[in-house]
Amino acid sequence: MTNQTITSVSRESRLFKPSAEFKAQANLGSEAAYKKLYAESVNSPERFWERQAKQFLTWRKPFTQVLQWKPPHAKWFGGGTLNVAENCLDRHLGTARENKAAIIFEGEPGDIRTLTYKQLHREVCKCANALELLGLRKGDRAAIYMPMVPEAAVAMLACARLGVVHTVIFGGFSSEAIKDRINDCGARVVITADGGWRRGKIVELKDSVDRALGATPSVEHVVVLKRTGNAVTMKEGRDLWWDDLMAAAPAVHKARAHASEQPLFILYTSGSTGKPKGVLHTSAGYLLGAAMTTHYVFDIKETDIYWCTADIGWITGHSYVVYGPLSVGATVLMYEGAPNQPEPDRFWEIIDRHGVTVFYTAPTAIRAFMRWGDEFVTRHSLASLRLLGSVGEPINPEAWMWYHKMIGKKRCPIVDTWWQTETGAIMVTPLPGITPTKPGSCTRPFFGVVPKILDENGKPVSRGSGGKLFLTQPWPSMLRTLWGDDARFKEQYWSEVPGLYFAGDGARFDEDGYLWVVGRIDDVLNVSGHRIGTAEVESALVSHPSVAEAAAVGRPDELKGQALVCFVTLKGDQRASDELKEALRAHVAREIGAIARPDSLRFAAALPKTRSGKIMRRILKEIAAGGDVKGDITTLEDFNVVASLQAEE
């Protein structure tokens, strides 16, 4: 990314301070307390994390070593044992939380269900017993491909209870993506559903699993939850109904203690090569990060009804629908479907119906609501809300202001939280009772986080200048490696500047020391808050028999943040046509999932390349954005290529 792009972010001067009222009740309400804790967290991290780990987690056996750091490998809380599911459930039993709602679920068709902590615990125990009966043991992998229903959380927690490593696959991913992920981690069991509801239609999940399973030798069983009631094919001996297994399973399950570093889950995310990366998170450190940030950033109280709109298929759903909020005993609202079903006011209706107090969503959703019109919001009171959050991509100041005025009624602090699949928990964020906010900035580091911005040569940039974002200290919820590929882990995150974690983002600090994240600087796009690797899209395109070469780039998009533009050259005997264009867009959706369907696809006679044969994406980006090709093109092999590409559309 050029400096020009980094500094083009607007200089925002508006400042919003938390109200005295909010401050007075906040879990952390004084700047002095933040400063003191932050200083301790970076100057005496081991003392700080030791205290937090004792405060936020329930241990079976106390840890003896806070951190063993052999860069880039960290081991946190060595010698300690605990059970993550017990921390999310069992420890709330026998307290006032026992009969409190853990999950309030609303399905897209309007069905509503509440599970208390006691009921959720019972379901998780039954599911753990059922999975054990299927032969799953500690360290085995299980894939979860479910709609946003409470059973998805039950399945995750049942795995956690057993020490079975789950990999949740987003319900929008295709069979190809399911197959790759299952094969990469060698999952023995797949937990899925007949379908899920989305925009009034059934998403046929079991069907997608079936198409993946022809080529997944590790899978022994498929557990199928009945959600939509559509017909599915059940393969004798392999496929089992969730309800049958649960009915037969005992409701008591004795949780075993697991080591702090017991792998908890693998979550695949896009990187700069065609193959998704299996980010590995382990138990104690991850849970501490999720729990602590839920407490301080979302300011959770016993009386809150907390709603994070992320799907459990993403890291946000892991940390802030399941592990974080349940570990602090919050009431979590879970909604299955689309924000505009039946009408674009579904979210606001849900907030009023259930009295949601804390609401966490993504900028792309906020921009969609802005576009759908204020009248859908003003129909509802939203009086219960007290705190708003944003995650997934930089929030443009205009969307921030709309969120602040229309949804927060100028009363609710907004926490713009910067973090990643790899970081496991929120890293840079305002604390809602303390930090004055600026629209578009994620403000200041959370405890223990030391961000640094460095230039191309690894040298610090001056304040106000853009550069690459690094984190300099290990933190408990950091990824431990990439599943089965430690070399890539080292290369991807720790080689840019040895010893520092490279986030892959461009950012700058402003004059007040506030952080502004601009976006990815690697070949990863952020489309509607979802990470899509351009290399993955390209490899999907070239897997089509008509395609010779492909290049995928991002173009700024008002609604999605970035839109996906693909340039394709065809094999000699193939002809460009609108039908082929559509077929190729559909092909990518089939290979990866609908979220990766190119917004625009352009046929080209040739792609711009350097003399060494490297596709010059920068040029394609400029062409995709509709602008002139600026900057240096002297390394271009064939100058005519650019002219003909520009003439095409």
Binding region for ligand PRX (CB under 6 A): 269, 315-316, 391-394, 416-421, 442, 503-505, 517, 519-520, 526, 531
Looking at beta carbons only, is 49 or 419 nearer to ligand PRX?
A: 419
- Comparison of 87 and 316: residue with beta carbon closer to ligand PRX: 316
Of 360, 266, 365, 276, nearest to 316 (Cα)?
360
- Report which DSSP code applies to 595: G
Cα dihedral value 47, 53, 59, 62, nearest 10: -10
Cβ-closest position to ligand PRX: 421
User: 364 is written with which tokens?
Assistant: 């792309």
Query: Within 13 A of 110's CA, how many CA atoms are on the CB side?
Result: 4
**Backbone region of residue 608 per phi and psi (left: phi > 0; alpha: psi in -120 to 50; beta: other values):** beta
Give the shortest CB-315-to-ligand PRX separation in angstroms. Answer: 5
A 10 A CB-CB count for 112 gives: 11
Backbone angles phi, psi at 475, to 5 degrees: -135, 155
Side by side, which strands form the sheet with 515-520? 451-454, 466-471, 501-509, 515-520
Smallest separation, CB 41 to ligand PRX (Å): 20
Q: Are 145 and 133 in contact (CB under 8 A)?
A: no
Nearer to ligand PRX, 283 or 526 (CB): 526
Which residues, 6 or more positions from 204, have their beta carbon under 8 angstroms from its beta carbon?
Answer: 194, 195, 230, 232
Structure tokens at 499: 């010893």
- Helix (H) or strand (E) holding 508, with range, is strand 501-509
Q: What 8-state DSSP symbol labels residue 321?
A: I
Which of 48/323 has CB closer to ligand PRX?
323
CB of 362 to ligand PRX, least distance (A): 8
| CB nearer to ligand PRX: pick between 298 and 567 | 298
Return the number of the residue (269 or 357) whose C-beta is nearest ligand PRX.
Answer: 269
Closest to ligand PRX by CB, 129 vs 364, is: 364
Q: Least separation, in Å, of the C-beta of 431 and ligand PRX?
A: 15
Of 334 and 524, which CB lies nearer to ligand PRX in the complex structure?
524
At how many degrees (to 10) do helices 205-213 and 175-185 cross? 60
> Tokens 């065809």 identify what position?
570
User: Taking the alpha carbons of 311, 103, 383, 353 in that order, is the dihedral positive or negative?
Assistant: positive
Smallest distance from the beta carbon of 214 to ligand PRX, in angstroms? 29
Q: Tell me which DSSP letter residue 473 carries.
A: S
The residue written with tokens 């999952």 in the block is: 187
Which C-beta is closer to ligand PRX: that of 174 or that of 441?
Answer: 441
Taking the complex as a whole, the smallest distance from the CB of residue 81 to ligand PRX amounts, in Å, to 29
Q: How far is the CB of 312 from ligand PRX (least distance, A)?
A: 13
| Phi and psi torsions of 159, nearest 5° | -60, -50
From the CB of 93, what's the least distance to ligand PRX, in Å?
31
Contact by Cβ (8 Å): 457, 446: no
**Local structure of residue 403 (DSSP, 8 states):** I
Q: How big is the CA angle at 82 (ends 154 and 308), to the nearest 5 degrees? A: 40
Instruction: Decide whether 161 or 367 has the Cβ nearer to ligand PRX.
Output: 367
| Residue with smaller CB distance to ligand PRX, 287 or 645 | 287
- CB crowding 195-211: b at 16 or more within 10 Å, else e: bbbbeeebbbbbbbbbb
Q: Minimal distance in Å, beta carbon 269 to ligand PRX?
A: 5
User: Which of residues 448 and 519 has its CB atom nearest to ligand PRX in the complex?
Assistant: 519
Least distance (Å) between residue 518 CB and ligand PRX = 8
Between strands 305-308 and 331-335, the pairing is parallel
* 226/195 Cα distance (integer angstroms): 8
Minimum distance, C-beta of residue 559 to ligand PRX, in the bound complex (Å): 16
Q: How far is the CB of 515 from ligand PRX (least distance, A)?
A: 9
CB of 8 to ligand PRX, least distance (A): 15
Q: Are strands 277-282 and 481-482 parallel, antiparallel or unpaired?
A: antiparallel
Closer residue to ligand PRX, CB minimum distance, 195 or 392: 392
